[in-house]
Amino acid sequence: MNHPDKLALPVGTTLDRFIMRKQEDFPYATGELSQLLRDIALAAKIVNREINRSGLIDIAGAYGNRNVQGEDQQKLDVIANIRFIRALRNGGEVCTIISEEDEEVIQTGNVQGKYIVAIDPLDGSSNIDVNVSIGTIFSIYRRVSPTGGEGTRQDCLQTGTHQVAAGYVVYGSSTMLVYTTGNGVNGFTYEPSLGEFFLSHPNIQTPATGAIYSINEGASATFSAGTTAFVAYCKEQNYSARYIGSLVADFHRNLLKGGIYMYPASAKAPQGKLRLMYECNPLAFIVEQAGGKATSGRCRILEIEPHEMHQRSPVFIGSSELVEKAEQFLAQDNAS
């Protein structure tokens, strides 16, 4: 005879409940950071809805403007930026936001807010119109200036080691939110019929090594000697080349399966292409918490001193043994 409980199996731990249980792990267990993470999750749900219906209501395609990076904005770029800024402003915990889509800092008016958020609202714009996975990346810092006034440049330009939380959302075959507060990495899958994120990937640990390398080999003619040699090494080892072109999607796959993602400096982009504050730093924090590594080829990503909001950096990120092997090849560039 079946037990009645088997007729209604538990659905799992919701993100809200998980955050409440883990609040004592936060650097400042006063509730504000918990609320801030909920605000980000709410905005992610709204953006997920917009993405899923984008082909039906004419919000795919180019918006007609370029962002501060000189990239063509897509309509969903603009929508995601508005949604996240609005959620963070209304939540009340954030005093200042820096976004990939905005040239200047965004003051929320929450002068008592204790946190700074750096965000890439919608990563992978070039894939929006072809139904390929895209994502959101966010990074949270505790402000260093006194409350009661607007956030300052010093608040916004902290090194990655000062992050109190970081995460990403990948909008794919399922929508997942992955984040860390410096006590491991946990992943949550969105259940749209219930409108909740549920814990699906507890305590993510990336494999120490892997057989995947991710790099845009179309730019190989402009790679440095060290990068070229490392890519050749990957091919000699019969590693699989996997490159989607959406940073979050490539990173997420390699985090779970083991591998290395690379966006090196090149003749076209001598400082690299990815932005330090809202791409490299948050993903470096996550990968280190999962047992991996992240380097610019010269130093640990999290120790790079930022000098401007939209500063760029080369990045080699993923399984620790693969990143260390890449560093061995890159040493020849640093010696020259």
* Annotated binding-site positions for Mg(2+): 100, 120, 122-123, 279
Residues 167-196 as b or e (16 or more Cβ within 10 Å = b): bbbbbbeebbbbbbbeeebbbbbbbeeeeb
Annotated binding-site residues read: 100, 120, 122-126, 216, 243, 273, 279
Sheet holding 212-214, edge to edge: 240-241, 212-214, 260-263, 315-318, 293-295
Q: Which two tokens stand for residue 45?
A: 């749900």
Cα end-to-end distance, the chain, whole Å: 75
185 vs 6: CA distance, rounded Å: 30
Q: Which two tokens stand for residue 201?
A: 């990937």
Backbone Cα Rg of the chain: 20
Annotated binding-site residues for substrate read: 123-126, 216, 243, 273
Burial class (CB in 10 A: 0-12, 13-18, 19+), 145: middle
Q: Which two tokens stand for residue 117?
A: 């958020």
Q: Which residues contact 143 (CB under 8 A, 6 or more apart)?
A: 95, 96, 113, 114, 115, 116, 151, 155
